[in-house]
Structure 1
Amino acid sequence: MITIKHPADFPETYPLDRIGPRKDLLFFDIETTGFSGDTSQLYLIGCVYHDGFGWKLIQWFADTRQAEAKLLDAFFSFMKRFKILVHFNGDRFDIPYLEKCCRRLGLNHSFEGMKSLDIYRRVRPFRQLLGLESMKQKAIEQFLGVSREDKYSGGQLIEVYRDYLHTHDKRLYDLLILHNEDDLKGMPAILPILSYPDLFESDFTLSSLEMCTAPQDEMPSEPYLQLRWNSPFSVPVPLDCTLDPVSMELLGNEIACSIRLCQGQLKHFYPDYRDYYYLPFEDTAIHRSVGEYVDRSARKKATAKTCYTKKEGLFLPQFGPLWEPSFKEDYKSSLTYAAYSDELLSQPQTASAYAKQLLGWLAGQPGK
């Protein structure tokens, strides 16, 4: 086994204290000859950490097939100094792979007691909202405007490592080490993507609310509500997205939303329909305690689809349970509404919850 250790150029592109104290953080990445720790070999583990004076990089390289167990022993022994592992897709690949390697080699190592911060996992729920083509690291780099050309992929380096085992050519060794080092040094470039889940999950302060109407030549003609919120967090790349009935712009720490209101008649459906009668002539439901006095020919047992009362007015769309009573266009409608009033968003907690609902709707997670 070969151990490499030296200072690392690791710019802090993201407030690391949101993850944890620097002394507790261990960034890591592995190189393997396949996808399963049961059937392939681990040949390189690289880590970046802060020793109190600056960032350091350490790597353990298997210069022989028999050195794999030594790599694992060295890594797990070193890992005990830290509390938080930071990685990209490590929850699905790196960590399970290392655990399988340990079982295959009969080593009693585990990640018990370690917290895990998987950049991939943190960002994945917001892929739709961010407009990411994929969840690969390169797609995130492109979104952030990071340009980094890899000469080789991890798959291509498998043959390079196999050739190295036969030749011990220093040129091949340097190629393998530098690829892993570049992956680790590239991690700060994607850390700013964590600002999006930070912001989306934060509390929001409503800064302005304005009612307006669309121009005469635009359809539909319903009024719009213009809302602005502020967050304690800022994002590196502005967002602009629309999903009817919401249009949103995100710049820095400010969210600006235009929400189309519904003007007209909607229905409130009662959940306990067995306790109601439906009156076909009035097109409404009434409670059985009152319906008993209605002529039998003018009433029916209500069903889930007919157990409603109607209301005329102006309605604000809601994207999860927030206000009651809630209203719908029809029984199967997924979007619900609340009767609009100036008081709906007057409470800071409610205004913040509504902002989170809007973002969940745009992210494809209604009700979040």
Structure 2
Amino acid sequence: MATLIKDLKINIQSPFLNANSSEKILFFDIETTGFSAKTSKLYLIGGIYRFMGNWKIIQFFLDSDENEKDLLYDFMSFASEYTLLISYNGTGFDTRFLWEKCQLLDVEYTLDNLTHFDIYKEISRYKPFFKLSHMKQKNIEEFLGVNREDQFDGGQLIQKYFDYIMTPNDEDKKLLLLHNSDDLFGMIQILSIVHYSKFFSGSFEIKKLSIDEYSNKDGEVQKEALFELSLHLPLEKRISFGNDIFYITASKKTAFMKVPILKAEMKFFYPNYKDYYYLPQEDMAIHKSVAFYVDKDFKTKAKAANCYGKKSGEFLVQYEQIVSPYFKKEYNDKTSYFELTNEFIRNPAKIKEYVLHIFKYLLKKQR
């Protein structure tokens, strides 16, 4: 087994790293000959860490067909000095594989004592917003414009490792180490992808809500609500997403969301319909205390579906009961609306709650 350590000439500016003691952070990635710890060999574990202000890369490499126990033991001892692990899909594969290997080879597994931040797990739920075919690390690197020297994937390198064990040579060894180091270096370079998940989960403030006018395809003047958001963390690449109702675009530290304003007459359905009477001629319900004065020929006992009052105005759609009172077109509609009032426009907390619920709705619909 060989242990290789090199200095890295990198300058990392990351709010995520600034929020944690970088001297206690370990980026890590493993290379194996398969997915099963029982039948596959663990041949390389790499890590990037900071020591005395300088970033370094360490690689534990199984350079002969020997037992992996020493490799595991050395990495576990090394990792125990840190408090935060960072990986890409490490919780989905790497740590599970390492734990199983430790059980098989009777090596103490120390990673449970560390906090583990998995970049993939943090961002994968937001895949529809990125419009990427896959969420592999290389896909994220391409999205952010990160270039890597290595052109192989882990599966392609399995045969390279077997070839190297049969006939050790510098060229194959360099390729094996390069793939692992590029994965690690890429992991650092894509840390800013976490800014997107923070944005989607509420890392922003409401800067302004304004009303804009536009002409639709028929030349009719329509209104829309324009939400301007100030982001806590910058987004390196512009994203845009939405559907035929909503449109969101975000770049750097600003995002906009457009929502059409519906000018209509809506129904407000009263609770406890048994306390109301429906007036067919007026197409509305009134409380029984008032209905007492209405001739019986002009009223009927209300049902849930016709126990409503009406209101004309300008409304925004909502898919949860974020803003009250809420209105509907018909009783059984799952979608509701609320009136766009000055009270709402001047309430940043409620506006933010509304924006987040739209993000949640779009994510659910686009999965």
TM range (shorter): 0.7 to 0.9
Conserved? CA contact 1:128–1:364, under 8 Å: no
**How far is 1:60 from its partner?**
0.8
Contact 1:273–1:302 under 8 Å retained in 2: no
For residues 278 and 67 of structure 1, do their structure 2 counterparts lie closer, same or farther at Cα, with a shift above 3 Å needed? farther
CA contact (8 A) 1:2 1:61 kept: yes
Q: Return the alpha-carbon distance in structure 2 between the equivalents of residues 76 and 290 of structure 1.
A: 77
How far the C-alpha of 1:265 sits from its partner, in A, is 2.1
> In the alignment, which residue of structure 1 is the partner of 2:184?
184
- Displacement of 1:75 after TM fit? 1.2
Q: State the match for 1:302 in structure 2.
A: 303
Residue of structure 2 in register with 1:245 after alignment: 245
Q: Provide Cα deviations, 1:87-143, integer angstroms capped at 9, x if missing partner.
A: 111111111111121222233314223111111111122221222222112221222
Partner of 2:317: 317
Describe the shift of the 1:136–1:26 C-alpha distance in structure 2 as closer, same or farther (beyond 3 A). Answer: same
Contact 1:28–1:46 (CA<8 Å) still a contact in 2? yes
The structure with the largest strand share of the pair is: 2
Aligned residue pairs total 364
Change (3 A) 1:102 1:280: farther
Report the AA paired with residue 248 of structure 1.
I
SS in structure 2 at match of 1:344 = helix
- 2:12 alignment partner, SS class: coil
| TM, length-normalised to structure 2 | 0.86
CA RMSD between the two structures? 3.0
Taking the aligned partners of 1:38 and 1:78, their CA distance within structure 2 comes to: 24
Identity %: 32
* Deviation string, structure 1 residues 200-229 (Cα, Å, up to 9, x no partner): 334533333322332275477542122212
Change (3 A) 1:169 1:290: farther
User: How far did 1:365 drift?
Assistant: 7.1
Structure 1 contact 229–355 (Cα < 8 Å) conserved:
no
Aligned position for 1:119: 119
Q: Which moved more, 1:107-116 or 1:213-222?
A: 213-222
Answer yes or no: is the 8 Å Cα contact 1:13–1:189 preserved in 2. no
The correspondence of residues 117-156 of structure 1 with structure 2, limited to 5 A, is 117-148=117-148, 150-156=150-156
Q: Which amino acid aligns with 2:62?
A: A
On the 8 A contact 2:240/2:250 being kept in 1, the answer is: yes
Closer, same or farther: CA 274–313 of 1 in aligned 2, 3 Å: closer
Deviation at 1:47, TM superposition (A): 0.1
2:149–2:182 Cα contact (<8 Å) kept: no
* Cα distance in 2 for residues equivalent to 1:145 and 1:254: 20
**Residue 196 of structure 2 corresponds to which residue in structure 1?**
196
Q: Which moved more, 1:290-299 or 1:217-226?
A: 290-299
Taking a change above 3 Å as real, the CA distance of residues 273 and 199 of structure 1, as seen in their structure-2 partners, is same
Mapped partners of 2:297, 2:88: distance in 1? 66
Q: Partners of 1:220 and 1:132 in 2: how far apart? A: 36
Indicate how the Cα distance of structure 1 residues 290 and 21 shifts in structure 2: closer, same or farther if over 3 A, else same.
farther
> 2: distance between equivalents of 1:104 and 1:143?
39
Q: Is the 8 A contact 2:64 2:165 kept in 1?
A: yes
**Matched residue SS, 1:67:** coil
Measured after TM superposition, the shift of residue 290 of structure 1 is: 7.8
2:354 is matched with 354
Could you say which residue in structure 1 is the equivalent of 2:209? 209
Q: Distance in 2 between matches of 1:107 and 1:216?
A: 67
C-alpha distance after superposition, 1:23-49 (max 9, x if no partner): 121000000011122332211100000
Aligned to 1:335: 335
